[in-house]
Copies of this chain bind each other. A is one copy, B any other.
Amino acid sequence: MNHLLTGKPEEIRALLDSVDTFLFDCDGVIWHGDNLIPNVAHVLERLREMGKRILFVSNNSTKSRRQYLKKFTQLNIEAYVNEVFGSAYAAAYYIKHNLELPDNKKVYIVGMSGIQEELDAEGIKHCGSSDDNENLTDMSEMSTIKNDPDVGAVLFGFDLDLNYKKLAKAFTYLQNPETHFLATNTDLTFPTKNAVYPGTGALLAALSTPLGRKPLVMGKPEQRMLDVIVDKYHLDRSRTCMVGDRLDTDILFGQNGGMKTLLVLTGVTPAAGLDEQEIKADFVIDSLGHLL
């Protein structure tokens, strides 16, 4: 549809009247790296005053909700742990409530402290991650790789400290078809201010390609994270609006989830050529800061 919001009071009122909950992607919507997008804090405040529920939904798997909250605090944005949904938390919630992993089984983590923290918070046993940051020093050490017979699932997220030992262990666990295979997200790239680097989905390919197995994916555009959110907050999907800067993750996520969608042009999607894109948002606005 790509209805461009021009700021007329009646079209904004129509949108606000039809929505109880806004889900916000963060990078490119709320902030750019360490810089808050102008007037966004004010818009969020106004939405709260109107009684709208606000949730922040990010594919970033490196941070726990608590770690994520620090960023909001640093940028002086009002936010609460319970409003923040990272893919690390979604994975922990999913493992606890949906996976039926026996109590004595552990999750082998390829990923960073955010995942460890979220699994700890849900009482899920785990290993890997920082335990295996020290790599093998020699090919002959491969034979010393020890696998833990209690591992029943592998959870893969972005890991700056990815090394061969972690890949080899995860690969060995996953050769057993009974070992669950989960990934926080499959973003192929990790855009930064200066350059684009490989993302979780890129690193994951080193495991899924030789295995010929695909993981259960938590992050956008997959629906598992939304299912977790809806389950936890009993949301009415038809009265929920997903706000994001990416068509192929945020907007697709919203559409597939039966939500309204609002595309902002402060992130990776340019205004030019929007009508030629296959994925269309219900509404488009140049910046979230201009919504009200």
Do the beta carbons of B210 and A206 come within 8 Å of each other? no
Interface-located stretch among A99-107, A119-127, A161-169 = A161-169
A192 to B161, CA, bound (A): 24
Do the beta carbons of A139 and B62 come within 8 Å of each other? yes
Task: Type the 1/0 row for A132-159, where 1 means its CB is closer than 8 Å to any CB of B.
Answer: 0001101100110100000000000001
A216 at the interface (CB under 8 A from B): no
Do the beta carbons of B206 and A142 come within 8 Å of each other? no
Q: How far is the CB of A192 from chain B (nearest CB, A)?
A: 6
Contacts of A207 in B (CB 8 A): 198, 202
A76 at the interface (CB under 8 A from B): no
A171 at the interface (CB under 8 A from B): yes
A201 to B205, CA, bound (A): 10
In the complex, which of the residues B138, B143, B205 contacts A205, with contact meaning CB atoms closer than 8 Å? B205
A18 at the interface (CB under 8 A from B): no
A238 to B171, CA, bound (A): 41
Given A171-B197, A203-B206, A192-B162 contact (CB < 8 Å): no
A271 at the interface (CB under 8 A from B): no
Do the beta carbons of B168 and A197 come within 8 Å of each other? yes
- Nearest B residue to A212 via CB reads B188
A199 at the interface (CB under 8 A from B): yes
Do the beta carbons of A161 and B164 come within 8 Å of each other? yes
A172 at the interface (CB under 8 A from B): yes
Q: Which A positions have Cβ atoms within 8 angstroms of B? A: 62, 135-136, 138-139, 142-143, 145, 159-164, 167-168, 171-172, 175, 188-189, 192-199, 201-203, 205-210
A selection of 11 A-B contacts at a CB cut-off of 8 Å is: A135-B161, A143-B194, A164-B203, A167-B197, A171-B197, A175-B196, A198-B206, A199-B210, A202-B209, A205-B205, A205-B206
